[in-house]
Amino acid sequence: MAGTSSRPAAAPPDIDARLAMYRVMVECRTFEVRAQELFFEGLVRGTTHLGVGQEAVAAGFAAAMRDDDYSFATYRGHNHALARGTDMAGLYAELFGRATGLMGGKGGSMHITSAEHHMMGSYAIVGAHLPIALGAAWSAQYRKSGQVAVCFFGDGTTNIGAFHEALNMAAVWKAPVVFVCENNQYMEYTPIGAVTAVARPAADRAAAYDLEAIVVDGNDVEAVFGVAATAVERARAGDGPSLVEALTYRHGGHSRADPGKYRPDEEVKAWLARDPIPAQRARLRSAGVDAATLDTIDANVAAKVAAAEAAARGAPEPLPDVIETQLWADGGSSWRN
């Protein structure tokens, strides 16, 4: 699927960039597949929402972003955090609820944040982060920093009010923000088509904000990169926001507890056959990359993930006295004298 964009495509990525995107996808996949196992082992508590199958969106966008561009993600945010360079041991530790977790065990899987990497948070109320990302873009615009905010969300999110408000205000303000709908075809258990008035939940709403309808194959990391680069540069140039709909699929259920049985077998099978990682591997192979190079990447990633897991496993539980810290900027949480 090509974007329907009429804007000139960005320059194609060179081979290093293509390998790097591959590596990011493998990192995400390896990290998350293992996280799911660790969930069943009882190490990951609460809930997790995996992006297995959707890695190309995270990898393609991250590759098109400047280091100081902002990412805003949902509870399904591990991929986006990792793609921006977030520390993997800290991420596992956060899923385990350990003291060395990215947020010291206070946030959990649904709220992964690495401000150091301009990964400005994972938001667990559907739609909330669209206005927030717009605000970061407004801030960049005001500060003339040249930064762009990229905001990832799901198809189901296109039906909530905050989506509408953020898109309109971003368009009016020509804010440097890229809204990326990862259309994985389902909200939780309900197919998006059953609850949405239009066929393309994001793209068919673009005109309502005087934006172009952009649809991209979200399982093709290079196609994503192309659309991302164009949208990010447009934003950086002061030409305003974009709304991108990336078609993709989650391999598993909505959250850790969901086997995803409501989905037709045929559909699942068809999408599994379009797994973005083997596809990119094949493309790199036909571009002349030898198998050993790719195998080395895979092995390096496996080692990195294993090391991260080990580090997190060895990390201590948080001490209860952190409970009353970091509510306020003074480090504490006192609300009265």
Partner 1 sequence: MAELTYRAAVAAGIAQEMRRDPMVVLIGEDVGAAGGVFKLTEGLIGEFGPERVRDTPISEQAIVGAAMGAAMTGLRPVAELMFSDFFAVAWDMVVNQIAKTRYMTDGQVSIPLVLRTANGAGLRFGAQHSQSVENWAMAIPGLKVVAPSTPADVVGLMAAAIRDPDPVIFCEHKGLFATKGEVPDGEHIVPLGKAAVIREGHDCTIVALAAMVPRAVEAAGRLSDDHGIDAEVIDLRTLIPLDAQAILRSVEKTSRLFTVEENPRALGWGAEIASIVADEGFYSLDAPIVRITTPHVPLPSSAVLEDAVLPTVERVVETVRQRLEDAQ
Contact residues for ligand TPP (CB under 6 A)?
A: 74, 76, 124-126, 153-157, 184, 186-188, 254
| Cβ closest to ligand TPP, residue 113 vs residue 147 | 113
Minimum distance from residue 277 beta carbon to Mg ion (Å): 20
Distance of CA 38 to the CA centre of its chain: 21
CA distance 84 to 220: 19
Q: Which amino acid is at 273?
A: A
Contact call for residue 43 and partner 1 (CB under 8 A): no
Minimum distance from residue 33 beta carbon to its own copies (Å): 35
CA distance 5 to 166: 22
From residue 270, give the alpha-carbon distance in Å to each of 91, 251, 273, 334: 31, 11, 5, 55
Chosen from partner 1, Mg ion, its own copies, none, partner binding at 51 (C-beta under 5 to 8 Å by type): none
Selected from 103, 160, 289, 311, the binder of its own copies by CB under 8 A is 160
Contact between 104 and 113 under an 8 Å Cβ cutoff? The reply is no
Contact call for residue 262 and partner 1 (CB under 8 A): yes
Stretch that binds its own copies, among 105-113, 161-169, 227-235, 253-261 (CB under 8 A): 161-169
SS3 label, residue 9: coil
Contact between 78 and 53 under an 8 Å Cβ cutoff? The reply is no
Q: Which amino acid is at 154?
A: G
Start-to-end Cα distance in the chain? 61
Minimum distance from residue 216 beta carbon to its own copies (Å): 20
Chosen from Mg ion, its own copies, partner 1, none, partner binding at 315 (C-beta under 5 to 8 Å by type): none
Q: Are strands 119-123 and 242-247 parallel, antiparallel or unpaired?
A: unpaired
CA distance 24 to 69: 18
Chosen from Mg ion, partner 1, its own copies, none, partner binding at 113 (C-beta under 5 to 8 Å by type): partner 1
| Cβ closest to its own copies, residue 161 vs residue 316 | 161
Conformation bin of residue 272: beta by default, left when phi > 0, alpha when psi is -120 to 50: alpha
Chosen from ligand TPP, its own copies, partner 1, none, partner binding at 205 (C-beta under 5 to 8 Å by type): its own copies
Minimum distance from residue 15 beta carbon to partner 1 (Å): 34
Chosen from partner 1, ligand TPP, its own copies, none, partner binding at 8 (C-beta under 5 to 8 Å by type): none
Site string for partner 1, 165-184 (x = CB under 8 A): xx-xx--xx-----------
Chosen from partner 1, Mg ion, ligand TPP, none, partner binding at 76 (C-beta under 5 to 8 Å by type): ligand TPP
Sorted by sequence, the CB contacts under 8 Å of residue 20 that are 6+ apart come out as 63
Contact call for residue 125 and its own copies (CB under 8 A): no
Minimum distance from residue 287 beta carbon to partner 1 (Å): 38
Selected from 23, 111, 164, 304, the binder of its own copies by CB under 8 A is 164
Closest CA to 326 of 317, 315, 334: 334
- Hey, what are 100's tokens? 């060395």
Burial class (CB in 10 A: 0-12, 13-18, 19+), 304: middle
Contact call for residue 317 and partner 1 (CB under 8 A): yes
Chosen from its own copies, Mg ion, ligand TPP, none, partner binding at 159 (C-beta under 5 to 8 Å by type): its own copies
Binding residues (CB under 8 A) for its own copies: these are 159-165, 167-169, 171-172, 194-198, 204-205, 207-211
